[in-house]
Each structure stands twice: as structure tokens, then as C-alpha cells.
Structure 1
Amino acid sequence: EQDFGRSLPLATLFQAPTIEQLAVILQQEQGVPTLSPLVPIQTQGNQPPIFCVHPAGGTVFCYLELSQLLGANQPFYGLQSLGQQEGQAPLTTVEEMANVYLAAIREVQPQGPYLLMGWSFGGMVALQMAHDLLSQGEQVAFLGLLDTYAPAHMPDEQVLSEDVEVLLELFGGPLSLDWEVLRDLPSEQQSALIWEQAHQANLVPPDLGAAQIERLLQLMKLNHKAMRSYSPPDYPDVITLLHAEAGSVAVSSTEVTTDPTLGWQAISPSKVEVHTIPGYHEYMVYQPTVVIVAETIKADIEKGLNTDVETSSK
């Protein structure tokens, strides 16, 4: 941002990680940054692309390693929150996000079978997108929820603040944090500890401005509000749920649900396939947990695509 004298969309960093590549893209855009929620993370391969929705923090940087582990033949697109750029209005409901994101993914893939997934809050949006596609006569070969709770089963007792949660989404996975120490600190000290370790690990871009950080925090709060107010529709097809066995560091252990489907069986009776993944919610897309997550997703996508072919041939 210092070099170009303007605020850059986070998605642009995926397309052009060097100064030279950024200059070319900005010249092509004639100074107008993209407003699309679609972020091309891995565009090569002949498999149907995976479209993976952002968690509550709004960004999709967290999916980089997952996309790599899924292989060079698997295209992978992230869907980021609108509202990260100055002057860009955020979306405020799950249904609104699903509608806008579907329009974006159809620019890449006009017809199914579709592969949709999302971590945490992103799973809710992916489910709404899958529901809308099915209602329009499209095929959804895979719907993956990465430790996503149904709204009615979300725990109420939070031991970490929303500001701390967004920092964990941005930086928490790669950091060596002592969760017990973090949980016992006041929220201001929690944030300070994460920022300190993120800077020491060179995870924070040196020119990440205060205004952009504030936009991310406000986005997360809006996404949390959308999450709490969402009423998911009945879903007639298979839901694949990857559940973090250790729960979440942000939630008191007394608040953990005993329902292995995390509440989703209520909208998809007998059609929730549950995979229990060792580790915490916060590490679902980071090492070492992400290796197991990627292997599980690959197997379920292959099964879903094969089932889709068999159904189409009948």
C-alpha cells in the first residue's frame, strides 16, 4: 500500500504476490480494485473447482495450505467477505451472502456438479448456497462443513472476545500459543499477546493499516450477528461434517454439545456424515490437523462425484 499509495484488496495478494505483478494488475484494472468476493487460490487442474467460504473473520488466507494439500489437479477458490475495501458495503445476512457468492462462482462454473465447503461460519453460508443451487435444479456433489455448528446448537459462553477470535483466525494456527494462559488473560491482554507473537513470526504485513484492521474486526462482528440470526432451511442431500474432537479454545468445556452432528441432523435427517478430526476448532485448516482434513475431503469429494455420475446416468 505504501508503494502504490492506495488500499489494496486482500484478494489481489493471491494473484500477484510481488511488487512487479501487482503493478501489472493495477494497470490492467486502471486503478479500480476488484469488488468480487471470489479469490482464485489455485486455478489449475481438471477437477470441478472447490468453492470455500470464509470464516467469520471474512478473509480466505487461512485456506492456502488446505488448497495445496488437495493437490495440483484440484482448482480451489475462496469466497471472501465484501466490505474489506474502503467504500465497499458489507453483506449482513447469510442469505444475502449466498446469493452474491453464487453469482460469483457461476462466472467460473456455470453448471454443476458443485463442490462447496466452509470453515466455521463459512459452513453456514456454503449450506445456504447448496440449498439454493438444489432448488434451482443444479447438482451439488459435495457440501463440507468444517466444524460448523447449527445456529441452535452454538455455545453461548465465550471465554475469548470477538476481537481475539478474528486475530486467531488470521494468525492463530501458525502460532505456538499456550491456550490455557491465553484464556485466563483479560481480553485486552489476549489481543496484545497474539499481536506480539504474530509480529515476531512475521505473519503481519508491515503496511497493514489500522483502518484495514478495524474493517476486519467490524466485518467479523457483522458476520457473528448474521450467524446468530440465521435459520437454516431443510437440506435434502448429504452434509459432510468434519468435527474437531477437542472442541474450541474460545468456548467453555461445559458448553460443548453432545450431538455428534452439531445440530445439523435436524435439517438433514439421516444424511449427515460425521468425521471426527483430532485437534481444536482453531487448527482445522492449519498443521497438523489440516493434513487429515485434506485427506478426508479428497475421499468424500471423489465419492460425491462418483455418486453424481451414477445418478446422472440413470
Structure 2
Amino acid sequence: MRARGTLTIFAVEVEHSLEQARIPGLTPSFTLVFAHRPPGALTESYCVVYLPSYSPDDAAARVATTEAIERIASLVVHIKPAAVLPLPRSYFEKTSLGKLSRAHFRRLFESGALDSEREAHESSIHAHRQAHRQAPSSPIEQTILTLICARLHAADPDSVSVTTNLFSLGLSSLDFYTVTQDLHQTFGVVFTLPDLLMDPTVAGLARRLASKQHQQQPSPNSHSHSLPLSPSPKPDNRTDYDPVVPLQLTGPKTPLWLVHPASGNVLIFANLARAFHDRPIYAFRSRGVQPGEPLFTSIAEMASTYTAAMQRTQPAGPYALAGYSLGSSIAFEIAKRLESAGQEVRFLGALDGPPDIAPLVGQLTWTEALVMIAYFYELISEPRCVALMPQLRDAERERALDVVLREADPSRVKALRLDRAELSHVTDVTAGFSRAAGQYTPAGSVAGAPVDVFAVDPLLTVTEDRAVWVERYLGQWRALSRRGMAVHQCEGRHADMLGARYVNGLQLVLRRVLEERGV
């Protein structure tokens, strides 16, 4: 939790983010955040109180509002609030300046004056979740559910459905890496991130696990012998590549589609997806991320594959899509294909990615791609990345891996569950993307929307000057839309603009732009 001197600053930031999110259950200007130290806690947490716009007996709205507040607030503070509490209008007496008193609400909360309101609220939420919960149907599902909730710390396994999308529970990208390791250690079956992303629910993981148990012999060190395997879930024997990964499935607004960077990493969008309670969010998983899959051979093949998958999920427009980094070019190619099919693209975003990517990555060697991955995965610093790129450009793969792993932050390697083979595989995917990018030249244009460019500080391997980056590289988008381009300056650097530190600021800008584009 943040130091006391910044409590008011972050409280104002949380309140602003909640107001901008326009959560249906919140009455505008009647939401307040105050600091709170739970009994026995070493650090302060925080609470959110609000005036609900829904009826007191509308349990579904109560749950949806609570979950939306928790997700958006945690983007700012990086932990969920200790309490989210709707209160009647009588509690919200404003000063002559139209302000609400944080100290007043903190005194009420910590004195126990709000206990009856809190108990009624939590009882209503619990009853609603129980009524709509699909409980585990096998010991395997129960074990997986317990593992997932252990990663969420405060989550109660008895309140989580096995059909709930794991992204909506608030798992971080690091949590997903850890879950794959937990599954391996518990069941003795190798589980990859693509396995997890095929159907990111407890029930989906159980089905995938069942199919893998048919293919692999349990490890001698597996603890699975202690788990009853019957009745077991029906195996998930899907082998067809499906690029669509659902990050957020609910909401009435137009879905937002996100295209991965060169590494094919979908989890980089996990934080951003949590900010949107009001629209579905989908991302594309690159072919080849799952070991054994063939890599794409061209940007055109990738864009055509993604367009077809996109239209299977969302058959008609308007469409909204954005690419991060080198994924911006793929988003552009998808938009062209949609418009050629007579569909409307109302939002096309480039998250700090230029259209002409061949000069930037088309000539990368495998070892240079390895160094870039090490930086993007926060294994090494950016200055070290800049220094190692020329040193390892023509080095043998094994030597380059030795150097990178020797210099990598051990705690980060452990958190990501990276080993030599996995790092080599991610580099294979990135190098494959680079080869495809080397053959790509952006051509044509889109007609329905300007290209909205979200600019941050560039990679030092390109330039140190943001103005040069925007004008010389990102500015190329002007010629590729008949409606030109719009630049939105954001905080952060190219490699971490979607990370915990900057994602809240980015989502506020993105939310505003989506609204301006009518989606």
C-alpha cells in the first residue's frame, strides 16, 4: 500500500477513474475513497463507498457494480479495496463546497456505525453468487478451483463458479504463469499458457487436463495419486488452432479486439481488459505460441486468419480493434479486410506501433530477438538491452542464451517460470514474426476511421526523442487512412505502457477515444 503522504492523491485518482468509467450502478459525484487499516494489518488499505443508482433489491446490479469498482480501483492501487459499500442518500451530506469528508466516512466505518449496512450488502452478494454459481462437478475441478483462489488470496472458493472467466477474477499476468506451474506440480502434467487460454475457466482447465492425462504418464513426483480421478471431466481433445482469447465477455458496448506484439504475448493485455466492465474484450493468440504449431509465414496470412476468427465470434460490425507495438500493422491489415467485406470499422488503434515495421525488425537476428524479449519480459534493463544487441548480434544461440540468463533478474525468471527451453521458444516466435515483418510493406488505406495513435516514449534502440518517434515513425499512419490520424500522448515507455504503473492512465485515454468514435 502507498505511504500516508500519497493517500489523498491515490484516493482522488481512484475516484476519478470510477467516475470516468460511468459504471451504471454509481450515482455521479457520490463516490468516495478513504484509507482504512484492517485490524492486525501492517499497512493501510482503502475502502470505497458510493450512492447506488439501482434498487436495493436488485442483487444482480449490486454484484456487477461491486465487481466493476474492484477491478477499476485495483488498477490504480494494485490491490482490491478492503470494502466496497453502497450507502443510502442520507449518509452523503456534502459541505458548502460540494465535498464529501473522507475523515467522516472513515470514522463511521471504523466505529462500526456502518456494520449493519455492510452485513446486508455482503449477504445479498453472497446469496446472489450462490444462486448463480456452478459448483465443481469433480475432485479435479475442486482442486483447480482451490489453486486459482489461492492465487487470489481473498477469493472464497465457495463463491466462484467453475464457468467464470479467469481474467474477470483479477488474475495478473504473473498469476497465469504461476497457475500453469501449480497445475504441473499438482497433477504431474505439463501445462502451457496456450493450454490455459484455450478455455480460461476452471471447467475448461479440467477438460484440458483430462485430455492431457490421456496423453501423458503421470510424473513420479506427482501428487495426483492422492486426488480421486473419477468421475473425471470429459476430455478436451481440440487440436485445431483458435486464435481468439476472451479476456472479458460481458457488457453491452461494441467488443474491443486487441492484437499481440511480436512475441505473441496475450497476457500483456490482462491489466487493460480489467478496466472495461462495459464491453467484451478479445485478444488474438499467435499460432506457434503453443509448441508444435507452425509459425505464420507472412503478415497477410496472420491478418486473414485473425479476420476470419474475428467474424466467427462477432459476425457484424461496427468493429473496434487495436494493435500493440508491431501488432498495430496486423490490426491495420485486419481493418482493410473487414472494410473490403463491406463491414464498418469505427475504431482502429495503434498502441505505440508504426505501420512500416520492416526497417525496425525485419533484419533482426535470432539472438537480437532474444535480447529484445529479455528486455520486454523485464529480465534485463533497457540500457543493458541496447548494449547487448550489437554484442550478441552474430553470436551462437547457446552462447547468447548463456549471457542473457546469466544477466537476467533471478526473481523475475522465477516469477515467469522461465527456463532455457521456454525462453528459446518465445524467441523462436518473435524471430518468426520478424521474418514475416521483413517481407511486409504497408499499402492501401482504411476509410471508416482515423488511425488513433497512442504514443509513449520510444525504445532506445530506435530513438531517444519522443517527438522524432511520433513524427518520423508513428506519423506514417497519416497516409494510411482517408481520415488521417489522431495522436494521443500517454505516459510510460514502449515496453511498459500496458504494465501496472501506466495502464490506468492509458485506459482513461482509450475509453475517451472509443466514446468519441461512437463505440
| Shorter-chain TM-score tier | 0.7 to 0.9
> What is the number of equivalent residue pairs in this alignment?
295
Correspondence for 1:248:
459
Correspondence for 1:165:
372
Q: Which protein has greater RCO, CA pairs closer than 8 Å, 6+ apart?
A: 1
Residue-by-residue CA offset, 1:6-29 (whole Å, 9 max, x unaligned): 5535262474476x7522344445
Check the 8 A contact 1:113/1:305 in 2, yes or no: no
Cα distance in 2 between the residues matched to 1:30 and 1:152: 38
Matching of residue 224 in structure 1 with residue 430 in structure 2: no
Cα distance in 1 between the residues matched to 2:427 and 2:317: 34
Structure with more of its chain in helix, by fraction = 2
Matching of residue 62 in structure 1 with residue 268 in structure 2: yes
Alpha-carbon spacing, 1:135–1:286, altered in 2? closer, same or farther (3 Å): same
Check the 8 A contact 1:151/1:228 in 2, yes or no: no
Determine which of 23, 26, 30 is the counterpart of 2:206: 23
Alpha-carbon spacing, 1:197–1:8, altered in 2? closer, same or farther (3 Å): closer
Cα distance in 2 between the residues matched to 1:261 and 1:199: 33
SS at 1:84's partner residue?
A: coil
Alpha-carbon spacing, 1:266–1:11, altered in 2? closer, same or farther (3 Å): farther
Cα distance in 1 between the residues matched to 2:374 and 2:308: 29
Cα distance in 1 between the residues matched to 2:288 and 2:297: 10
Correspondence for 2:472:
259
Residue-by-residue CA offset, 1:263-299 (whole Å, 9 max, x unaligned): 1123236510111223211112113222222111111
Check the 8 A contact 2:347/2:514 in 1, yes or no: yes
Cα distance in 1 between the residues matched to 2:274 and 2:433: 27
Alpha-carbon spacing, 1:122–1:29, altered in 2? closer, same or farther (3 Å): farther
SS at 1:263's partner residue?
A: helix
SS at 1:118's partner residue?
A: strand
Query: Which runs of structure 2 are paired with 1:108-127 in the superposition (5 Å)?
Result: 108-127=313-332
Cα distance in 2 between the residues matched to 1:21 and 1:44: 18
Residue-by-residue CA offset, 1:223-277 (whole Å, 9 max, x unaligned): 1122232122222331111111x21133353895443743112323651011122
Check the 8 A contact 1:37/1:81 in 2, yes or no: yes
Cα distance in 2 between the residues matched to 1:96 and 1:146: 22
Cα distance in 2 between the residues matched to 1:35 and 1:22: 17
What percent of counterpart residues are identical?
A: 24
Correspondence for 1:282:
495
When normalised by structure 2's length, the TM-score is 0.51
Matching of residue 141 in structure 1 with residue 346 in structure 2: yes
| 1:45 CA displacement | 1.4
Residue-by-residue CA offset, 1:118-170 (whole Å, 9 max, x unaligned): 10111110000001101111011111001111217855798x9211222333x
Alpha-carbon spacing, 1:195–1:58, altered in 2? closer, same or farther (3 Å): farther
Alpha-carbon spacing, 1:167–1:107, altered in 2? closer, same or farther (3 Å): farther
Give RMSD over aligned pairs: 3.1
Cα distance in 2 between the residues matched to 1:128 and 1:272: 16
Matching of residue 81 in structure 1 with residue 265 in structure 2: no
Query: Which runs of structure 2 are paired with 1:176-255 in the superposition (5 Å)?
Result: 178-185=381-388, 186-187=391-392, 188=400, 189-194=403-408, 196-199=410-413, 202=415, 204-205=416-417, 210-235=420-445, 236=447, 237-244=449-456, 246-253=457-464
When normalised by structure 1's length, the TM-score is 0.81
Check the 8 A contact 1:16/1:25 in 2, yes or no: no
Cα distance in 1 between the residues matched to 2:266 and 2:358: 25
Correspondence for 1:46:
252
Alpha-carbon spacing, 1:4–1:36, altered in 2? closer, same or farther (3 Å): farther
SS at 1:151's partner residue?
A: coil
| 1:190 CA displacement | 4.6
SS at 2:322's partner residue?
A: strand
Check the 8 A contact 1:249/1:282 in 2, yes or no: no
Alpha-carbon spacing, 1:182–1:217, altered in 2? closer, same or farther (3 Å): closer
